[in-house]
Amino acid sequence: MAGKLVAILSGLALLAAGYFIGSKFGGDRSHVIVGDGSRYSAGADGSAGADNNSAAQGGRLADYARSVGASGKGNTIEVRDGESIQAAVASASAGDVIRVFPGTYRETVYIDKDDIQLSGVIIGGEWPVMEGDKKLNDAILYSGNSITVENFRIQHYKGNAVMGQAGNNFLIRNNHVIDTGVYGIFPQLGKNGLISHNVLSEIEDAAIYVGMCDNIHVSHNEVFNSVAGIEIENSRHSIVESNYVHNNTGGILVFITPGLPIKTTVDTIVRNNFVVNNNTANFAAEGSIVAGVPAGTGILNMAGDETTIEGNIISGNKNAGIIITDHMNAGNITLDPESEPNSDKVAILDNFMFDNGAEPIPEIKALKLATLTTGNVDIVNVGKSTGSCILNPKQYPTVGLGDFGTCGFTTTAQTVTYLLPEPAPKREIAKADMGKAAFHGICAGCHAYNVRMIGPPVQIIQALYMDNPEGIAAYAANPVKKRDDYPEMPPQKHLSEEIRLAAAKYLLELKN
């Protein structure tokens, strides 16, 4: 979600009169039936499309979850308190299981091999603890395919708890993540992944952040006391279900950030979640992307297409239960000509919503006043939204939904998961594409082209370094904090000099 949401909504007052006139003179499209059951149907093989971008039917999530994570077919390596997890990874081969026993481990672990299972061993309530002491940036970084990370308590890092760097078929489950800086669990540019049964809190950006991924399932996690609970960004074919998302600034966010290599967010199902009391004061780093998200935001969709919101309990969110918006009404965003800016084909099915909107921001108050809307509002739409619908338009108090029709389908239950029936092929990267792959899989998680994310925009880096890729590569290996308004960059010295230099050259050549 690029730009401050306060600024995103700042145009509401100006648009309010238009909404009011439209609703009085033909703007109400609730009589129009939009979509049908084919939106969540698939072929007999449980897949849809040549990419196998599933709509899995007739099975259970556990059946499809077999395609993610490590095989566990190799040897077992044990790590005890006082020993090194990284040393065990260095000695491991594909298929090996690394069992980490209770103790405190102060290190960063890099997994650049395929098919490695990193499993904590919990004995008598004692967990293996990865402790960053607010000195280390990252706990676990993986670039390998078919990686499992499970049963760890990860705390007090400055950057990320678990970050994926273009690894496919990942499984991240049953971890406790506390106060790990910018992100908690952050898979980037991965295909076919399951994030489940984790508990995360006190994250200053996003607790679970799915960036530029495909075929993702996020389920049965508890996320609280963070700025953003769960984010689906520039990703396709994702399901967010059965999570308890509470006491964050914003609960669940689905959006497109302009300026990233992947330009779309398509086909996200947000269903059967508890999204309650997300009223925590925003404590993001000043100037960061989410620093302006208003407290009290339940679910936000910005420019995400084919987002379906179903079966959620959404309550106690003081600003609004659901907000739909586009890039055109977003302040602090430079539009990307390759990113379609509207939230199209959004479907709001049956949800249980109450006690939302008790203390909206001033812009929503102005919109309500101009549209003669009284009382608390559960759902707010601002901006153009084509082909969108709400199942029972009169079920909730809403504002700005004049262009929404009535949904011609009632449920997504036929779609069990978007996980693939078989593991996705591992990424084969030609040497000529090394820089592009490294930038997409690593750098783009913090650096968009012309929009501020976690780090400076690419355009600023280009202006600073111009014809000096060697300078970027050297800085990435041993960064130092230069700007008070940006968080410290985590070192990338685990990458070879060749890869860092290739990524730097690619960055300097980017045009959008």
Indicate whether 175 and 309 sit together in one domain. yes
Residue 488 has phi, psi (to 5 degrees) of -65, 135
Residue 113 lies in a domain: no
Specify the pTM: 0.87
pLDDT higher than threshold 90 for residue 46: no
The H or E element spanning position 64 is helix 61-64
Residue 86 lies in a domain: no
**Distance between CA atoms of 167 and 498, rounded to whole angstroms?**
20
State the pLDDT at residue 149: 98
CATH number at residue 248: 2.160.20
Residue 90 lies in a domain: no
Residue 370 has phi, psi (to 5 degrees) of -70, -25
Last residue of a domain, one of 354, 373, 407: 407
**Distance between CA atoms of 94 and 424, rounded to whole angstroms?**
16
Number of domains in the chain: 2
For the chain, the distance separating the N- and C-terminal CA atoms, rounded to the nearest angstrom, is 18
State the pLDDT at residue 333: 61
Indicate whether 400 and 438 sit together in one domain. no
CATH number at residue 440: 1.10.760.10
The percent of residues above 70 in pLDDT, for the chain, comes to 88
- 398 exposure class (CB count in 10 Å sphere: 0-12, 13-18, 19+): buried
Indicate whether 54 and 200 sit together in one domain. yes
Residue 425 lies in a domain: no
Task: Please give the residue that has the higher pLDDT: either 170 or 14.
Answer: 170
Among the listed residues 464, 488, 493, 489, the one whose alpha carbon sits nearest the alpha carbon of residue 477: 493
Indicate whether 395 and 459 sit together in one domain. no
Confidence of residue 44 (pLDDT cuts 50, 70, 90): very low
Six token digits for residue 111: 């997994």
State the pLDDT at residue 135: 93
pLDDT higher than threshold 90 for residue 484: no
Indicate whether 461 and 345 sit together in one domain. no
Among the listed residues 506, 419, 403, the one whose alpha carbon sits nearest the alpha carbon of residue 194: 419
For 365-383, what is each residue's pLDDT tens digit? 888 888 888 899 999 998 8
Indicate whether 457 and 364 sit together in one domain. no
Given the structure tokens 């370094």, which residue do they identify? 465
Given the structure tokens 């929009």, which residue do they identify? 451
> 290 with 282: CB under 8 angstroms?
yes
3-state class of 368 per DSSP? helix
State the pLDDT at residue 431: 66
Mean pLDDT of all residues in 129-143: 95
State the pLDDT at residue 327: 80
Last residue of a domain, one of 407, 441, 473: 407
- In sign, the C-alpha dihedral spanning 413, 418, 419, 421 is positive
Among the listed residues 191, 200, 87, the one whose alpha carbon sits nearest the alpha carbon of residue 152: 200
For 249-267, what is each residue's pLDDT tens digit? 999 999 988 888 888 999 9
Six token digits for residue 490: 């985590």
As a three-state string, the secondary structure of 445-484 is HCCCCCCCCCCCCHHHHHHHHCCCHHHHHHHHHCCCCCCC
For 407-455, what is each residue's pLDDT tens digit? 999 999 989 999 999 999 987 766 666 777 777 777 776 787 777 767 8
Indicate whether 440 and 388 sit together in one domain. no
> 146 with 115: CB under 8 angstroms?
yes
For 385-412, what is each residue's pLDDT tens digit? 999 999 988 899 999 998 899 999 999 9
Confidence of residue 49 (pLDDT cuts 50, 70, 90): very low
**Distance between CA atoms of 165 and 390, rounded to whole angstroms?**
37
Indicate whether 378 and 481 sit together in one domain. no
Indicate whether 449 and 399 sit together in one domain. no
Mean pLDDT of all residues in 126-144: 96
3-state class of 185 per DSSP? strand
State the pLDDT at residue 331: 53
Task: Give the range of the structural domain holding residue 248, as residue numbers without chain letter.
Answer: 5-68+169-407
For the ranges 19-23, 242-246, 276-280, 477-481, the lowest mean pLDDT is seen at 19-23
- 432 exposure class (CB count in 10 Å sphere: 0-12, 13-18, 19+): exposed
Distances (CA, A) of 432 to 438, 466, 477, 499: 12, 21, 22, 11
Task: Please give the residue that has the higher pLDDT: either 61 or 355.
Answer: 355
The percent of residues above 90 in pLDDT, for the chain, comes to 57
**Distance between CA atoms of 481 and 135, rounded to whole angstroms?**
13
For 91-100, what is each residue's pLDDT tens digit? 999 999 999 9
Indicate whether 441 and 345 sit together in one domain. no
For 72-123, what is each residue's pLDDT tens digit? 999 999 999 999 999 999 999 999 999 999 999 999 999 999 999 999 999 9
Confidence of residue 469 (pLDDT cuts 50, 70, 90): confident
Residue 24 lies in a domain: yes
CB burial readout 296-325, b (16+ within 10 A) else e: bbbbbbbbbbbbbbbbbebbbbbbbbbbbb
Confidence of residue 45 (pLDDT cuts 50, 70, 90): very low
The H or E element spanning position 393 is none
Last residue of a domain, one of 407, 442, 465: 407
Residue 373 lies in a domain: yes
Confidence of residue 343 (pLDDT cuts 50, 70, 90): very high
Residue 335 lies in a domain: yes
Sheet strand arrangement including 138-142: 109-111, 138-142, 160-165, 183-188, 206-211, 228-233, 250-255, 297-302, 320-325, 379-381, 398-399
Mean pLDDT of all residues in 18-32: 54
Indicate whether 269 and 383 sit together in one domain. yes
> 439 with 476: CB under 8 angstroms?
no
Confidence of residue 506 (pLDDT cuts 50, 70, 90): confident
Indicate whether 354 and 455 sit together in one domain. no
Confidence of residue 491 (pLDDT cuts 50, 70, 90): confident
> 5 with 293: CB under 8 angstroms?
yes
Residue 118 lies in a domain: no
Among the listed residues 483, 485, 7, the one whose alpha carbon sits nearest the alpha carbon of residue 292: 7
Six token digits for residue 16: 């309010």
State the pLDDT at residue 5: 47
